[in-house]
Amino acid sequence: MSKKIGLFWLKDDFRVIKNYALAEATNNHDQVVVFYLYKKDLFENQIAQKWWVSRSLEEFKKKLDEFNISLEIIKVNSYQVFFEELLKKDNFSIYWNKTYEPKYLNFDELLSKKLTSKNIEFKICKGNALNEHNEVKKSDSTPFKVFTPFWRTAEKLYLEKVPTKNRSILKRKKKITFFKNILNEKKILPDKKWYIKFEKFWQPSEEKALLELKNFIKSRIENYSDARNFPSIIGTSKLSPFIKHGQIHVETIWEECNKIKKKGVSKFLTEIGWREFNHSLINNFPHMLKGNYSKKFDKFPWEKNQRLLLAWKKGLTGYPIVDAGMRELYSIGWMHNRVRMIVGSFLVKHLLINWKEGEKHFKNCLLDYNEANNVSGWQWVAGCGADAAPYFRIFNPILQGEKFDKEGEYVKKWVPELKNVPKKFIHRPWELKDEKIIKIGKDYPKPIVIHEKARERALKAFQII
Ligand X SMILES: Cc1cc2nc3c(=O)[nH]c(=O)nc-3n(C[C@H](O)[C@H](O)[C@H](O)COP(=O)(O)OP(=O)(O)OC[C@H]3O[C@@H](n4cnc5c(N)ncnc54)[C@H](O)[C@@H]3O)c2cc1C
In angstroms, rounded to a whole number, what is the distance separating the alpha carbons of residues 96 and 365? 28
378 in contact with ligand X (CB under 6 A): yes
Which of these segments, 5-13, 135-143, 367-375, 424-432, binds ligand X (CB under 6 A)? 367-375
In angstroms, rounded to a whole number, what is the distance separating the alpha carbons of residues 437 and 444? 11
Q: Cβ(397)–Cβ(387) under 8 Å? A: no
354 in contact with ligand X (CB under 6 A): no
Contacts with ligand X in 392-421 (CB under 6 A)?
none
374 in contact with ligand X (CB under 6 A): yes
User: What is the three-class DSSP state of 83?
Assistant: helix
In angstroms, rounded to a whole number, what is the distance separating the alpha carbons of residues 243 and 227? 21
Structural Rg of the chain based on CA atoms: 24
Beta strands, E only, 217-292: none
In angstroms, rounded to a whole number, what is the distance separating the alpha carbons of residues 438 and 421? 7
The nearer residue to ligand X, 72 or 359, going by C-beta atoms, is 359
369 in contact with ligand X (CB under 6 A): yes
Minimum CB distance to ligand X, residue 408 (Å)? 21
Among 25, 111, 125, 243, binds ligand X (CB under 6 A): 243
381 in contact with ligand X (CB under 6 A): yes
Among 272, 342, 351, 454, binds ligand X (CB under 6 A): 272
Give me the sign of the Cα torsion angle 155, 159, 163, 168.
positive
278 in contact with ligand X (CB under 6 A): yes
What one-letter code names the amino acid at 400?
Q
Among 26, 49, 56, 240, binds ligand X (CB under 6 A): 240
Minimum CB distance to ligand X, residue 277 (Å)? 8
Among 24, 185, 368, 387, binds ligand X (CB under 6 A): 368
Q: Strand order in 70-76's β-sheet?
A: 70-76, 32-39, 5-10, 92-97, 122-125
Give me the sign of the Cα torsion angle 32, 34, 37, 38.
negative
The nearer residue to ligand X, 378 or 404, going by C-beta atoms, is 378
The nearer residue to ligand X, 179 or 194, going by C-beta atoms, is 194
# of chain residues touching ligand X (CB under 6 A): 27
- 75: closest CA among 188, 177, 206, 236? 188
Contacts with ligand X in 197-236 (CB under 6 A)?
228, 236
In angstroms, rounded to a whole number, what is the distance separating the alpha carbons of residues 419 and 438? 10
Minimum CB distance to ligand X, residue 212 (Å)? 9
Which of these segments, 48-56, 310-318, 370-378, 428-436, binds ligand X (CB under 6 A)? 370-378
In angstroms, rounded to a whole number, what is the distance separating the alpha carbons of residues 438 and 420? 8
The nearer residue to ligand X, 205 or 236, going by C-beta atoms, is 236
337 in contact with ligand X (CB under 6 A): yes
Which of these segments, 113-121, 146-154, 374-382, 436-444, binds ligand X (CB under 6 A)? 374-382
Closest residue to ligand X, judged by C-beta, is 377
User: How many angstroms from the chain centroid is the CA of residue 194?
Assistant: 19
Environment class of residue 408 by beta-carbon count within 10 Å: exposed (0-12), middle (13-18) or buried (19+)? buried
Contacts with ligand X in 150-179 (CB under 6 A)?
none
Torsion of CA 177, 81, 286, 462, to 10 degrees: 110
Minimum CB distance to ligand X, residue 389 (Å)? 9
382 in contact with ligand X (CB under 6 A): no
52 in contact with ligand X (CB under 6 A): no
Strands 122-125, 92-97: parallel, antiparallel or unpaired by DSSP? parallel
Footprint of ligand X (CB under 6 A):
228, 236-240, 243-244, 271-272, 274-275, 278, 337, 340-341, 344, 362, 366, 368-370, 373-374, 377-378, 381
